[in-house]
Amino acid sequence: MLDHIGYSQSMVHDRRAAWREHDAIMSGKRQATTEITAGSKGEGFTAPFESDTDCVILSNNTLCRLPDDDTVQLPDTHYEFIMDYEHCHPGHFRLELKHTGTLEISNIEEALFVHDNGRTFISSAKYRKSFIDKTNETVSGPALTGCTEYLSWDHVYAFPCTSQQQLLSEWINRPRHHHWPSSDLISEVSELQAQMVPVGCKSSEHKDIEWRVCFIFSEQKLTDSWNGKQYKVYILLKLLTKSQLKPINDVISSYLLKNIMLWFTEQNPTQIFKKQHLFQNVISCLRNLKDAIHANYLPYYMVPSRNLLTGRMIPDQQQQLIAKLDELIQEGPLVIMRCPKVLTALNMSPTELARKGRWRNKLEKLYLQRENIWPTYWWPGMETKRLHQLVWSDPHYASMRDKLRKMLWPEWKQSQRDYFGRVLKRKVAGALS
Protein backbone atom coordinates (compact mmCIF):
# COMPACT_ATOMS: atom_id res chain seq x y z
CA MET A 1 0.00 0.00 0.00
CA LEU A 2 2.78 2.46 0.87
CA ASP A 3 4.42 1.75 -2.48
CA HIS A 4 1.22 2.74 -4.29
CA ILE A 5 0.71 6.06 -2.46
CA GLY A 6 4.11 7.50 -3.29
CA TYR A 7 6.62 5.76 -1.02
CA SER A 8 8.10 3.06 -3.25
CA GLN A 9 11.88 2.81 -3.39
CA SER A 10 11.89 3.88 -7.04
CA MET A 11 9.83 7.00 -6.24
CA VAL A 12 12.07 7.88 -3.29
CA HIS A 13 15.12 7.46 -5.56
CA ASP A 14 13.60 9.65 -8.30
CA ARG A 15 12.78 12.43 -5.82
CA ARG A 16 16.31 12.43 -4.44
CA ALA A 17 17.76 12.56 -7.93
CA ALA A 18 15.46 15.43 -8.99
CA TRP A 19 16.12 17.62 -5.95
CA ARG A 20 19.87 17.03 -6.06
CA GLU A 21 19.93 17.82 -9.77
CA HIS A 22 18.06 21.06 -8.98
CA ASP A 23 20.61 21.95 -6.29
CA ALA A 24 23.54 21.25 -8.62
CA ILE A 25 22.09 23.47 -11.36
CA MET A 26 21.33 26.34 -8.99
CA SER A 27 24.67 26.12 -7.18
CA GLY A 28 26.55 26.01 -10.47
CA LYS A 29 25.08 29.39 -11.42
CA ARG A 30 25.93 31.13 -8.17
CA GLN A 31 29.48 32.00 -7.22
CA ALA A 32 28.66 33.18 -3.71
CA THR A 33 26.41 30.40 -2.44
CA THR A 34 25.67 26.68 -2.57
CA GLU A 35 22.06 25.48 -2.37
CA ILE A 36 21.06 22.33 -0.48
CA THR A 37 17.54 20.88 -0.37
CA ALA A 38 17.40 19.41 3.13
CA GLY A 39 14.78 17.64 5.23
CA SER A 40 12.25 15.16 3.85
CA LYS A 41 12.35 16.67 0.35
CA GLY A 42 16.10 16.17 -0.05
CA GLU A 43 15.79 12.71 1.50
CA GLY A 44 13.11 11.75 -1.04
CA PHE A 45 10.46 10.89 1.54
CA THR A 46 7.77 13.45 0.65
CA ALA A 47 5.90 14.47 -2.49
CA PRO A 48 6.26 18.03 -3.89
CA PHE A 49 3.24 19.51 -2.07
CA GLU A 50 3.23 17.22 0.96
CA SER A 51 5.31 19.36 3.32
CA ASP A 52 7.57 22.42 3.54
CA THR A 53 10.62 22.62 1.33
CA ASP A 54 13.73 23.10 3.48
CA CYS A 55 16.52 24.89 1.66
CA VAL A 56 19.95 25.64 3.17
CA ILE A 57 21.97 28.34 1.42
CA LEU A 58 25.66 28.08 2.25
CA SER A 59 28.03 31.02 1.94
CA ASN A 60 30.91 29.94 -0.33
CA ASN A 61 33.19 32.72 0.92
CA THR A 62 32.99 31.83 4.60
CA LEU A 63 34.38 29.03 6.74
CA CYS A 64 34.06 27.99 10.39
CA ARG A 65 36.45 25.74 12.31
CA LEU A 66 37.47 24.69 15.79
CA PRO A 67 40.54 26.44 17.25
CA ASP A 68 42.84 23.42 16.79
CA ASP A 69 41.72 22.64 13.24
CA ASP A 70 44.03 24.42 10.83
CA THR A 71 44.00 21.86 8.01
CA VAL A 72 42.29 24.15 5.49
CA GLN A 73 44.12 27.16 4.07
CA LEU A 74 41.71 29.88 3.00
CA PRO A 75 42.16 32.50 0.27
CA ASP A 76 42.17 36.12 1.42
CA THR A 77 38.70 36.62 -0.05
CA HIS A 78 37.11 34.42 2.64
CA TYR A 79 35.79 35.22 6.09
CA GLU A 80 37.05 32.83 8.75
CA PHE A 81 35.38 32.19 12.11
CA ILE A 82 36.69 30.24 15.10
CA MET A 83 34.09 28.18 16.96
CA ASP A 84 34.05 29.02 20.68
CA TYR A 85 32.02 26.54 22.78
CA GLU A 86 32.78 28.08 26.19
CA HIS A 87 29.57 28.87 28.13
CA CYS A 88 27.45 27.40 25.29
CA HIS A 89 25.03 24.46 25.37
CA PRO A 90 26.21 21.27 23.61
CA GLY A 91 26.13 21.55 19.84
CA HIS A 92 26.15 25.38 19.99
CA PHE A 93 28.99 27.83 19.53
CA ARG A 94 29.86 31.48 19.38
CA LEU A 95 31.69 32.40 16.18
CA GLU A 96 34.70 34.66 16.63
CA LEU A 97 35.96 36.54 13.58
CA LYS A 98 39.46 35.34 12.74
CA HIS A 99 39.89 36.86 9.29
CA THR A 100 37.86 39.42 7.34
CA GLY A 101 37.45 38.52 3.69
CA THR A 102 38.61 40.97 1.07
CA LEU A 103 35.35 40.25 -0.73
CA GLU A 104 33.01 42.15 1.60
CA ILE A 105 29.69 40.45 2.42
CA SER A 106 27.17 42.98 3.70
CA ASN A 107 25.04 40.43 5.60
CA ILE A 108 28.08 39.40 7.61
CA GLU A 109 29.29 42.95 8.20
CA GLU A 110 25.85 43.96 9.52
CA ALA A 111 25.91 41.12 12.07
CA LEU A 112 29.41 41.61 13.51
CA PHE A 113 29.78 43.05 17.00
CA VAL A 114 32.57 43.64 19.51
CA HIS A 115 32.12 41.75 22.77
CA ASP A 116 32.95 43.21 26.18
CA ASN A 117 36.16 41.19 26.07
CA GLY A 118 37.29 43.10 22.98
CA ARG A 119 36.86 40.14 20.58
CA THR A 120 34.68 40.38 17.46
CA PHE A 121 31.85 37.88 17.04
CA ILE A 122 28.94 37.46 14.64
CA SER A 123 25.37 37.55 15.98
CA SER A 124 23.08 34.79 14.73
CA ALA A 125 19.99 36.94 15.33
CA LYS A 126 21.41 39.90 13.40
CA TYR A 127 22.57 37.64 10.58
CA ARG A 128 19.04 36.23 10.16
CA LYS A 129 17.54 39.71 10.33
CA SER A 130 19.86 40.99 7.60
CA PHE A 131 18.08 38.66 5.15
CA ILE A 132 14.57 39.43 6.43
CA ASP A 133 15.14 43.10 5.60
CA LYS A 134 15.50 42.09 1.94
CA THR A 135 12.52 39.69 1.71
CA ASN A 136 8.91 39.30 2.80
CA GLU A 137 9.69 36.20 4.86
CA THR A 138 9.34 35.70 8.62
CA VAL A 139 11.62 34.00 11.17
CA SER A 140 11.07 30.49 12.54
CA GLY A 141 14.08 29.13 14.44
CA PRO A 142 17.11 29.44 12.13
CA ALA A 143 14.88 29.71 9.05
CA LEU A 144 13.17 32.42 7.07
CA THR A 145 9.76 31.06 6.15
CA GLY A 146 7.45 31.97 3.31
CA CYS A 147 4.53 30.52 1.41
CA THR A 148 2.24 30.74 -1.60
CA GLU A 149 -1.22 29.27 -1.98
CA TYR A 150 0.16 25.76 -2.47
CA LEU A 151 3.81 25.79 -1.37
CA SER A 152 5.68 26.73 1.78
CA TRP A 153 9.40 26.87 2.41
CA ASP A 154 12.11 27.42 5.00
CA HIS A 155 15.32 29.15 3.90
CA VAL A 156 18.33 28.84 6.20
CA TYR A 157 21.42 30.94 5.47
CA ALA A 158 24.39 29.07 6.88
CA PHE A 159 28.19 28.76 6.93
CA PRO A 160 30.25 25.67 6.05
CA CYS A 161 32.27 24.05 8.82
CA THR A 162 35.36 21.91 8.20
CA SER A 163 35.77 20.50 11.72
CA GLN A 164 33.22 17.71 11.31
CA GLN A 165 35.59 14.91 12.28
CA GLN A 166 36.42 16.50 15.65
CA LEU A 167 32.76 17.32 16.25
CA LEU A 168 31.73 13.77 15.37
CA SER A 169 34.52 12.02 17.25
CA GLU A 170 32.10 10.48 19.78
CA TRP A 171 29.70 9.44 17.01
CA ILE A 172 32.52 7.90 14.97
CA ASN A 173 34.02 5.92 17.84
CA ARG A 174 31.05 4.83 19.94
CA PRO A 175 30.48 1.04 20.14
CA ARG A 176 27.79 -0.36 17.87
CA HIS A 177 26.40 -3.86 18.30
CA HIS A 178 24.30 -4.25 15.16
CA HIS A 179 26.67 -3.10 12.39
CA TRP A 180 24.70 -0.02 11.33
CA PRO A 181 26.06 2.26 10.20
CA SER A 182 28.79 0.11 8.67
CA SER A 183 32.45 1.09 9.05
CA ASP A 184 32.51 2.22 5.41
CA LEU A 185 29.42 4.38 5.92
CA ILE A 186 30.88 5.89 9.10
CA SER A 187 34.02 6.78 7.15
CA GLU A 188 32.00 8.40 4.35
CA VAL A 189 29.83 10.37 6.78
CA SER A 190 32.85 11.70 8.68
CA GLU A 191 34.29 13.19 5.48
CA LEU A 192 31.24 15.37 4.76
CA GLN A 193 31.34 19.03 5.81
CA ALA A 194 29.17 20.24 8.67
CA GLN A 195 27.19 23.49 8.68
CA MET A 196 26.69 26.31 11.18
CA VAL A 197 23.13 27.66 11.23
CA PRO A 198 22.13 30.98 12.82
CA VAL A 199 20.18 29.95 15.91
CA GLY A 200 21.06 29.52 19.57
CA CYS A 201 19.82 27.14 22.23
CA LYS A 202 16.27 28.14 23.25
CA SER A 203 17.08 28.10 26.96
CA SER A 204 20.33 30.07 26.63
CA GLU A 205 20.54 33.67 27.76
CA HIS A 206 23.05 34.18 24.94
CA LYS A 207 20.92 32.57 22.23
CA ASP A 208 21.05 35.64 19.99
CA ILE A 209 24.80 35.26 19.51
CA GLU A 210 25.02 31.45 19.45
CA TRP A 211 25.13 29.26 16.33
CA ARG A 212 24.15 25.60 16.04
CA VAL A 213 26.11 22.92 14.24
CA CYS A 214 24.27 20.53 11.93
CA PHE A 215 25.25 17.76 9.51
CA ILE A 216 22.94 17.90 6.50
CA PHE A 217 25.07 15.91 4.05
CA SER A 218 25.95 13.34 6.73
CA GLU A 219 22.33 12.76 7.69
CA GLN A 220 21.32 12.44 4.05
CA LYS A 221 24.03 9.82 3.56
CA LEU A 222 22.61 7.88 6.52
CA THR A 223 18.96 8.06 5.42
CA ASP A 224 20.03 7.15 1.86
CA SER A 225 21.30 3.87 3.35
CA TRP A 226 17.89 2.91 4.79
CA ASN A 227 16.15 0.13 2.89
CA GLY A 228 12.40 0.11 2.22
CA LYS A 229 11.60 -1.80 5.41
CA GLN A 230 13.42 0.86 7.43
CA TYR A 231 12.33 4.14 5.87
CA LYS A 232 8.68 3.03 5.78
CA VAL A 233 8.68 2.94 9.59
CA TYR A 234 9.72 6.60 9.42
CA ILE A 235 7.01 7.37 6.83
CA LEU A 236 4.29 5.91 9.07
CA LEU A 237 5.63 7.83 12.06
CA LYS A 238 5.39 11.05 10.04
CA LEU A 239 1.85 10.27 8.88
CA LEU A 240 0.71 9.43 12.41
CA THR A 241 2.30 12.57 13.82
CA LYS A 242 0.62 14.74 11.18
CA SER A 243 -2.86 13.35 11.88
CA GLN A 244 -2.64 12.66 15.63
CA LEU A 245 0.02 14.81 17.31
CA LYS A 246 0.07 18.01 15.22
CA PRO A 247 -3.51 18.89 16.21
CA ILE A 248 -2.33 18.93 19.84
CA ASN A 249 0.72 21.11 19.19
CA ASP A 250 3.70 21.46 16.81
CA VAL A 251 6.34 20.18 19.23
CA ILE A 252 7.00 16.91 17.38
CA SER A 253 8.73 17.76 14.12
CA SER A 254 9.86 15.44 11.35
CA TYR A 255 13.40 16.14 12.52
CA LEU A 256 12.67 14.70 15.97
CA LEU A 257 11.10 11.64 14.36
CA LYS A 258 14.13 11.20 12.13
CA ASN A 259 16.36 11.14 15.19
CA ILE A 260 14.07 8.58 16.85
CA MET A 261 14.42 6.43 13.73
CA LEU A 262 18.20 6.87 13.42
CA TRP A 263 18.67 5.68 17.01
CA PHE A 264 16.22 2.82 16.44
CA THR A 265 18.11 1.68 13.33
CA GLU A 266 21.45 1.71 15.13
CA GLN A 267 20.24 0.01 18.31
CA ASN A 268 18.38 -2.92 16.73
CA PRO A 269 19.45 -5.91 14.62
CA THR A 270 18.78 -5.71 10.89
CA GLN A 271 16.65 -8.87 11.18
CA ILE A 272 13.76 -6.92 12.74
CA PHE A 273 13.39 -4.79 9.61
CA LYS A 274 11.11 -7.17 7.75
CA LYS A 275 7.66 -6.63 6.29
CA GLN A 276 5.98 -8.70 8.98
CA HIS A 277 7.55 -6.54 11.72
CA LEU A 278 6.55 -3.16 10.27
CA PHE A 279 3.74 -2.42 12.77
CA GLN A 280 5.78 -3.72 15.69
CA ASN A 281 8.61 -1.36 14.74
CA VAL A 282 6.25 1.61 14.44
CA ILE A 283 4.83 0.91 17.92
CA SER A 284 8.37 0.53 19.32
CA CYS A 285 9.33 3.93 17.93
CA LEU A 286 6.17 5.48 19.39
CA ARG A 287 7.21 4.06 22.77
CA ASN A 288 10.68 5.55 22.35
CA LEU A 289 9.13 8.90 21.47
CA LYS A 290 6.86 8.74 24.53
CA ASP A 291 9.82 7.90 26.78
CA ALA A 292 11.78 10.85 25.35
CA ILE A 293 8.88 13.25 25.95
CA HIS A 294 8.34 11.90 29.47
CA ALA A 295 12.03 12.46 30.29
CA ASN A 296 12.08 15.70 28.29
CA TYR A 297 15.28 14.33 26.77
CA LEU A 298 16.05 13.18 23.23
CA PRO A 299 19.77 13.08 22.40
CA TYR A 300 20.75 14.36 18.97
CA TYR A 301 21.89 11.35 16.99
CA MET A 302 25.06 13.01 15.67
CA VAL A 303 26.04 14.84 18.90
CA PRO A 304 24.31 13.00 21.78
CA SER A 305 25.23 15.61 24.39
CA ARG A 306 22.71 17.96 22.73
CA ASN A 307 19.13 17.50 23.92
CA LEU A 308 16.70 18.07 21.05
CA LEU A 309 13.81 18.72 23.48
CA THR A 310 15.46 21.53 25.44
CA GLY A 311 12.98 24.39 25.79
CA ARG A 312 10.50 22.88 23.32
CA MET A 313 7.43 22.27 25.49
CA ILE A 314 5.64 23.26 28.67
CA PRO A 315 4.28 20.65 31.16
CA ASP A 316 0.71 20.80 29.78
CA GLN A 317 1.94 20.02 26.26
CA GLN A 318 4.12 17.25 27.63
CA GLN A 319 1.19 15.56 29.41
CA GLN A 320 -1.13 15.90 26.40
CA LEU A 321 1.42 14.28 24.10
CA ILE A 322 2.11 11.44 26.53
CA ALA A 323 -1.62 10.73 26.89
CA LYS A 324 -2.11 10.68 23.12
CA LEU A 325 0.93 8.45 22.56
CA ASP A 326 -0.34 6.03 25.24
CA GLU A 327 -3.61 5.88 23.33
CA LEU A 328 -1.86 5.21 20.02
CA ILE A 329 0.43 2.54 21.50
CA GLN A 330 -2.50 0.73 23.16
CA GLU A 331 -4.33 0.60 19.85
CA GLY A 332 -1.55 -1.46 18.28
CA PRO A 333 -1.34 -2.04 14.50
CA LEU A 334 -4.83 -0.64 13.87
CA VAL A 335 -3.39 2.77 14.74
CA ILE A 336 -2.40 3.25 11.09
CA MET A 337 -6.10 3.54 10.26
CA ARG A 338 -5.90 6.98 11.89
CA CYS A 339 -3.85 8.23 8.91
CA PRO A 340 -6.29 9.61 6.29
CA LYS A 341 -3.97 8.84 3.37
CA VAL A 342 -3.54 5.25 4.54
CA LEU A 343 -7.24 4.76 5.26
CA THR A 344 -8.23 6.00 1.81
CA ALA A 345 -5.78 3.62 0.15
CA LEU A 346 -6.84 0.61 2.23
CA ASN A 347 -10.46 1.19 1.23
CA MET A 348 -9.57 0.68 -2.46
CA SER A 349 -9.49 -2.65 -4.20
CA PRO A 350 -5.96 -3.96 -4.91
CA THR A 351 -6.52 -3.42 -8.65
CA GLU A 352 -7.72 0.16 -8.21
CA LEU A 353 -4.90 0.96 -5.77
CA ALA A 354 -2.25 -0.37 -8.15
CA ARG A 355 -3.74 1.52 -11.11
CA LYS A 356 -3.95 4.79 -9.21
CA GLY A 357 -0.44 4.25 -7.83
CA ARG A 358 1.03 3.91 -11.32
CA TRP A 359 -0.83 7.05 -12.37
CA ARG A 360 0.36 9.18 -9.42
CA ASN A 361 3.98 8.04 -9.79
CA LYS A 362 3.94 8.88 -13.50
CA LEU A 363 2.44 12.27 -12.66
CA GLU A 364 5.03 13.07 -9.99
CA LYS A 365 8.00 12.05 -12.15
CA LEU A 366 6.66 14.22 -14.96
CA TYR A 367 6.15 17.15 -12.59
CA LEU A 368 9.67 16.86 -11.12
CA GLN A 369 11.23 16.71 -14.59
CA ARG A 370 9.26 19.76 -15.68
CA GLU A 371 10.19 21.77 -12.60
CA ASN A 372 13.90 21.16 -13.20
CA ILE A 373 13.67 23.00 -16.53
CA TRP A 374 13.20 26.30 -14.65
CA PRO A 375 16.68 26.46 -13.07
CA THR A 376 18.36 25.67 -16.41
CA TYR A 377 17.16 29.05 -17.74
CA TRP A 378 17.57 31.05 -14.52
CA TRP A 379 20.56 33.30 -13.85
CA PRO A 380 21.20 35.62 -10.87
CA GLY A 381 19.52 38.98 -11.40
CA MET A 382 17.17 37.73 -14.12
CA GLU A 383 13.72 39.32 -14.19
CA THR A 384 10.84 36.93 -13.50
CA LYS A 385 9.06 37.95 -16.69
CA ARG A 386 12.09 37.06 -18.82
CA LEU A 387 12.50 33.71 -17.06
CA HIS A 388 8.86 32.84 -17.76
CA GLN A 389 9.26 33.76 -21.42
CA LEU A 390 12.27 31.48 -21.84
CA VAL A 391 10.75 28.51 -20.00
CA TRP A 392 7.34 28.73 -21.66
CA SER A 393 8.93 28.83 -25.11
CA ASP A 394 10.88 25.62 -24.44
CA PRO A 395 9.21 22.86 -26.53
CA HIS A 396 10.15 20.17 -23.99
CA TYR A 397 8.51 22.16 -21.21
CA ALA A 398 5.39 22.72 -23.35
CA SER A 399 5.19 19.00 -24.11
CA MET A 400 5.37 18.05 -20.43
CA ARG A 401 2.80 20.72 -19.53
CA ASP A 402 0.40 19.23 -22.10
CA LYS A 403 0.97 15.74 -20.70
CA LEU A 404 0.13 17.02 -17.21
CA ARG A 405 -3.04 18.62 -18.54
CA LYS A 406 -4.13 15.40 -20.24
CA MET A 407 -3.54 13.40 -17.06
CA LEU A 408 -5.26 15.82 -14.69
CA TRP A 409 -7.61 17.88 -16.78
CA PRO A 410 -8.72 16.18 -20.03
CA GLU A 411 -11.26 18.92 -20.80
CA TRP A 412 -8.70 21.75 -20.51
CA LYS A 413 -9.11 22.85 -24.18
CA GLN A 414 -12.73 23.80 -23.48
CA SER A 415 -11.73 26.06 -20.57
CA GLN A 416 -10.88 29.75 -20.58
CA ARG A 417 -7.18 30.33 -21.21
CA ASP A 418 -6.88 32.82 -18.32
CA TYR A 419 -7.38 29.99 -15.84
CA PHE A 420 -4.97 27.43 -17.33
CA GLY A 421 -2.05 28.01 -14.97
CA ARG A 422 -4.10 28.36 -11.81
CA VAL A 423 -6.30 25.33 -12.38
CA LEU A 424 -3.40 23.08 -13.37
CA LYS A 425 -1.40 24.12 -10.29
CA ARG A 426 -4.35 23.37 -8.04
CA LYS A 427 -4.90 19.95 -9.60
CA VAL A 428 -1.21 19.02 -9.37
CA ALA A 429 -1.07 20.15 -5.73
CA GLY A 430 -4.13 18.10 -4.89
CA ALA A 431 -2.69 14.95 -6.49
CA LEU A 432 0.82 15.30 -5.05
CA SER A 433 0.16 16.40 -1.47
Contact 196, 80 (CB under 8 A): no
> pLDDT value at position 391?
96
> pLDDT value at position 414?
62
> What is the CATH topology of the domain spanning 226-338?
Poly(a)-polymerase, middle domain (1.10.1410)
40-70 residue pLDDT tens: 999 999 999 998 999 999 999 999 999 998 8
Q: Do you know the residue count of the chain?
A: 433
> pLDDT value at position 142?
85
**Three-state secondary structure of the chain:** CCHHHCCCHHHHHHHHHHHHHHHHHHHHCCCCEEEEEEHHHHHCCCCCCCCCEEEEEEECCEEEECCCCCCCCCCCCCEEEEEECCCCCCCEEEEEEEECCCCCCHHHHHHEEECCCCCEEECHHHHHHHHHCCCCCEEECCEEEEECCCCEEEEEEEEEECCHHHHCHHHHHCCCCCCCCCHHHHHHHHCCCEEEECCCCCCCCCCCCEEEEECHHHHHHHHHCCCHHHHHHHHHHHHHHHHHHCCCCCCCCHHHHHHHHHHHHHCCCHHHCCHHHHHHHHHHHHHHHHHHHHHCCCECCCCCCCECCCCCCCHHHHHHHHHHHHHHHHHHHHHHHHCHHHHHHHCCCHHHHHHHHHHHHHHHHHHHHHHCCHHHHCCCCCCHHHHHHHHHCCHHHHHHHHHHHHHHCCCHHHCCHHHHHHHHHHHHHHHCC
Phi, psi dihedrals of residue 68, rounded to the nearest 5°? -95, 10
362-371 residue pLDDT tens: 999 999 999 9
Contact 191, 158 (CB under 8 A): no
Q: Where do the structural domains in the chain lie, given as residue ranges?
A: 61-224, 226-338, 351-431
Which segments of the chain have a pLDDT < 50?
none
Kindly report the pTM of this predicted structure.
Answer: 0.94
Rounded to whole angstroms, how far apart are CA atoms 211 and 201?
A: 8
CA dihedral 131, 136, 140, 142 (to 10 degrees): -20
**Which one, of 36, 309, 8, lies nearest residue 155 by Cα?**
36
Rounded to whole angstroms, how far apart are CA atoms 164 and 142?
A: 20
